[in-house]
Structure 1
């Protein structure tokens, strides 16, 4: 049975330290000129950072931006993680310089998490800070990457090793973008939703959709999950913008997950890797605390939406372990590994000893021999 229909639009106010901005969820708003006139304000130039596939999927958004009263410049970047490099950021800077882009002008991130990460990084470093609006086009970006102000680009030695904290002026969330997503991409985004269920709001875990079923028939369920996930994230980052306290709970599944993602050569989607990272963290929690049932509960939630619970990519423990040591959140002797001992709660622990870390990997991640 479907849940009660929420309002046609919803706004979550994100408070991040001294910055406050709206996350506005409204169907069809990315194609409305009025939406963009309000967002553009007094900017004379709008630089839209997007990828070619996204630009092809959302021509209405690009038209509306062009008609919103400012000069529009489109900066096409590679699709996926290939966008998040120093070389691509450099090309964006060059294009902004040619457009005589000022701090009062506006950068718009139209795309998924890699685009919001890159665009946020470029905006934050252009003349020490230009205006920024996020228009996320994937579920993962809607519930995670576009909220909270983390930006980043990848280096050969690891993911997101160069980055800043920089808040957008607003996030324009449009649920109609979900209809453009393949099932695998919806599943990837649901990993971040499930994460919020384990660390903050267990009610999320009882509302999970079936990504293989037509999204249009589950619109209200997705809308509610987006809102609940964003509210959970907003609560955790409100007084911890720079990831020193409660906000670090949002890294659940990410320390191992991002290492797995990198070691796989990014053949795994971010959400798929985070799903594996959550299974790994669950088993570690059992080994460290003696608790039971955490791994099975995690695997059940992930299985319900079709996310992986065991490695298929050729990733060894040694690769994962080495990359975990390079994680930007890891400091010797400082709690940095997030555990969820039960639904709706999270705690910080120090990085496990190698022997325990290896045991957890062998128990739940190592591909089964055939």
Structure 2
């Protein structure tokens, strides 16, 4: 096993480690032993032969990854599988899959017996750099993305980069969408690093932000950079656009909107597009989706406050750095969106 990097997430009531590197999944038995776990349910989107032996009695629960399965019905099915597996509050759940799996299984773990330990084994780049870390768990409703959820921190996260070797190019691009936006929220330009170091840098940034604001009361809003429009694009295309692709467009839009508001200069605006394009990510809106539809979906964003009727809320760059900007005029938002070209979902070779 090559050297595995460790990032500690230090919270007020709960600390845990994120391990990143080739073979990280093989740390699972030691992690479970340290947690004192007697039995686990391995909720997995990968073949059983790719799962590590947890070293304790276990039940494999198959899961279908993807946004279409990120539902309350899935949460119920997992909880019923936990009952069949005989899990008690002293046992644990292991979530092995992409970001939709860690989100959905994490919520099931938060609800089962009012909270059971969960260990994440993220298998996609998107999940490794972002979704599996930070304790946000949620599922979608027909009305919007991530509208039902809970904060439930994992007991450990094992980011085995070997999972990424066979990842389809488009899934890698989705992860790069989160890496690209990290450049504007404190991580700096990560393009010169190898993939493992990009993951480590992204997780280190997120760990530092979550440590300061576990429950989205302030600084953690910066992690939503590019996500307000990104989530709207996902929903408007019925998730035909991947999360990272949509966030990439949202990042370009955030730069343009900040420029139109006079918060940043044109060089900084151009830097957003250049960063996204350099990763091979889209910088256009999905064809066939009216601007009015995107604006309506953004009205449902979770960040809006009690004065939400006064406009939209975005996380934007500015003279004081990235911050939450409320009451942005919808006509201005529509005008900026109208300036973006449109096209099909990316189809990388």
What's the TM-score once normalised by structure 2's chain length?
A: 0.91
Match of 1:13 among 4, 8, 13: 8
User: Are residues 175 and 351 of structure 1, via their aligned partners in 2, closer, same or farther at CA, if it must alter by over 3 Å?
Assistant: farther
Say which SS state the counterpart of residue 293 (structure 1) adopts.
helix
- 1:303 match: 277
State the Cα deviation string for residues 247-281 of structure 1 (Å, max 9, x = none). 11000000111011111110000000001111111
What displacement does 1:89 show?
1.0
What displacement does 1:189 show?
0.2
Q: Structure 1: which 5+ runs fail to align?
A: 1-6, 209-220
- Once residues 332 and 22 of structure 1 are traced to their aligned partners in structure 2, the CA distance between those partners, rounded to angstroms, is 36
State the Cα deviation string for residues 286-312 of structure 1 (Å, max 9, x = none). 111163133321111111111000023
Contact 2:287 2:342 in 1 (8 A): no
Contact 1:111 1:136 in 2 (8 A): yes
Whether 2:320 is the aligned partner of 1:326: answer no
Cα RMSD, aligned residues only = 1.9
Match of 1:350 among 313, 322, 326: 326
Say which SS state the counterpart of residue 133 (structure 1) adopts.
strand
Contact 2:129 2:178 in 1 (8 A): yes
User: Are residues 142 and 242 of structure 1, via their aligned partners in 2, closer, same or farther at CA, if it must alter by over 3 Å?
Assistant: same
What displacement does 1:366 show?
4.5
User: Are residues 270 and 351 of structure 1, via their aligned partners in 2, closer, same or farther at CA, if it must alter by over 3 Å?
Assistant: farther
Say which SS state the counterpart of residue 152 (structure 1) adopts.
strand
- 1:235 match: 208
- Once residues 150 and 184 of structure 2 are traced to their aligned partners in structure 1, the CA distance between those partners, rounded to angstroms, is 27
- Once residues 70 and 4 of structure 2 are traced to their aligned partners in structure 1, the CA distance between those partners, rounded to angstroms, is 32
- Once residues 128 and 78 of structure 1 are traced to their aligned partners in structure 2, the CA distance between those partners, rounded to angstroms, is 24
Match of 2:254 among 278, 281, 289: 281
Q: Structure 2: which 5+ runs fail to align?
A: 345-349
Say which SS state the counterpart of residue 238 (structure 1) adopts.
helix
- 1:207 match: 192
- 1:272 match: 245
Say which SS state the counterpart of residue 117 (structure 1) adopts.
helix
Contact 2:233 2:286 in 1 (8 A): no
What displacement does 1:150 show?
0.4
Say which SS state the counterpart of residue 283 (structure 1) adopts.
helix
What's the TM-score once normalised by structure 1's chain length?
A: 0.86
- Following TM superposition, the consecutive aligned residue runs of length 4 or more in structure 1 with deviations greater than 3 angstroms are 332-336, 365-368
